[in-house]
Each structure stands twice: as structure tokens, then as C-alpha cells.
Amino acid sequence: MKGIKGVDWPELTITEALDIVRTIRSKNIKTFQALATELGYSPSTHGGSLFYKWSAISRLYGLVESSRKNIALSTLGQRIVDSLNEADKASAIRESVLRVELLKRLYENLGPDYHQDDFRPKLSELTGASPSEISEVAKRMESVYKDAASYLRLEGKKAPIAGGTERDAESLPPVALDRTVSGRVEVTSGAFPKFDKPVRNLHSEDGYFIRVVLDASVIDEAIAVLQALKSRVQPPA
């Protein structure tokens, strides 16, 4: 989608973008031409709606990246399709949505449960577009926003953990994958039963760690997480 008043807007909903990303992974698509064919375009097509779809999944949502003629899933895309756990997957989807500045600003102003009469005035306010410009694109834009808001509203409370400080086990998932960012770790907390057992952090060299409660059933879950990590770093043949 061209957007309005110079404000970029994705041609695809995040759900539609995720479907394409999963297709890229499942069919091992590695070139732009192969992706164009999969999406129903001629391999020689580069402009028009294909361009806007590509822009949505790559530049705006940040799920795919390219190098010359080759394409590959970005780190965000990999975190979604080769998810280590549901919390990390949901976090990656939210990060993808919030890369789109207008979606982020709309959510900050409207939230997920807005009145439908408020959408167009707020869109006009944030973009500076005229009523006639808004009327041309508002219906599609609102569908993209509603879809994005459905993912953002699932966001749980996050608590920073600095310098390796640990929290009580009852406030954290028994197995959690986290990423160090700018010297701190963002942890999504949830409603989990209290474990009266020690908690350990298993670190990797690239900034990830797995927090594991020393309990047999939880260790089994940790093994499943590590198997998912292995599939991420070992692409299909």
C-alpha cells in the first residue's frame, strides 16, 4: 500500500505477512522470483502489488531480508516460524508490528477496543491527510490495524532484570527464552505455579539464555525448547 501523506503503511495484515513467512520456510524459498511465483505473479514481476507486499514483509514488518537476488528470513522471522516457545513467538510478532510507526502510534492512541467512529479522525490527525484521502484507504487501513491490535493486546507485563539478578520462581515461567538488549533482559511474566526449587539460567554466546526450574517435568520442556533452537540454527536441507 502506498500509504498517505508520505506515511508508510503495510499492504498486508500481520497475519497475511506471517502466512507468507511460513510458506517461505516450509517450501524453502530462497529467491525473489520463486516467491513471486508462489504468490501468483510472473517471476519477472517487480512492481505493483507484489512490490507493496514485499515491502510489507521486508522493510515494514522486518520478517524477511534480501541479498542481491536471494531472500531469507530475518531474525524476527526465524523467531516466529522456528519459535523456541510461545512467549518468544508472541514477543517477536509484537516487535514486528511495532516496527510500523503508524501502527504503533494508532495503538498508543486508540488501543484495541476503540470506537469505530474514532479511527478515521485519529488517522487523519496522525498523518495530516485530508478527509478525501482518508476515505480512499481507511477501510483497508482499519482492517490492518484491527489485525495488528489483536496481537498487541496479548502483550503481558514485562519486568527488566539487570546484571543477572534473578526473581522468585513464582513470578516467572518455568522455562523462558530471553534476549539481552542494551545490558538488560526483558522477561515476559505469566501466571505459573510456584516452584519451591532452584532456578538456573543457561546462557548462550549470542545473548540468549534459558531459565530453567530444576524440576524433572520442566527439564523435559527445556529439552523441547533446545530442540526448537537446533532446528532454527540448522536450516532444512
What's residue 86's pLDDT?
87
Sign of the CA dihedral with 61 first, then 135, 127, and 112 last: negative
Confidence tier at 84 by pLDDT (50, 70, 90): confident
- Judgement on whether residues 42 and 100 belong to the same structural domain of the protein: yes
Mark whether 150 and 166 lie in a shared domain. Answer: no
Range picked from 37-41, 100-104, 176-180, 195-199 for highest mean pLDDT = 100-104
Same domain? 68 vs 94: yes
Shared domain for 172 and 132, answered yes or no, is no
Return d(Cα 144, Cα 140) in angstroms, integer. Answer: 6
What is the count of structural domains for the chain?
Answer: 2
Say if residue 66's pLDDT is above 70: yes
Pair (151, 197) in one structural domain: no
pLDDT above 70 (res 196): no
Q: What is the pLDDT of residues 125-164, one digit of tens each?
A: 999 888 888 888 889 999 999 999 999 986 543 333 223 3
Q: Are residues 117 and 181 in the same domain?
A: no
**55 in the same domain as 30:** yes
Same structural domain for residues 222 and 172? yes
Contact yes or no for 17/11 (Cβ under 8 A): no
Q: Which of 43-52, 61-70, 114-123, 226-235 has the lowest mean pLDDT?
A: 226-235
Place of cell 530442540: 227
Domain span at 64: 1-155
The average confidence (pLDDT) of the chain is 76
Q: For residue 233, what pLDDT is reported?
A: 66
98, 131, 155: which is the final residue of a domain? 155
Of 99, 126, 155, at which residue does a domain stop?
155
The three-state (H, E, C) secondary structure of 89-119, written as one string:
HHHHHHHHHHCCHHHHHHHHHHCCCCCHHHH
Same domain, 85 and 110: yes
List pLDDT tens digits, range 10-55. 989 999 999 999 999 999 999 988 998 999 987 666 667 888 899 9
What pLDDT, on a 0 to 100 scale, did the predictor assign at position 56? 94
Domain boundary among 137, 155, 173: 155
Same-domain status, 124 and 167: no
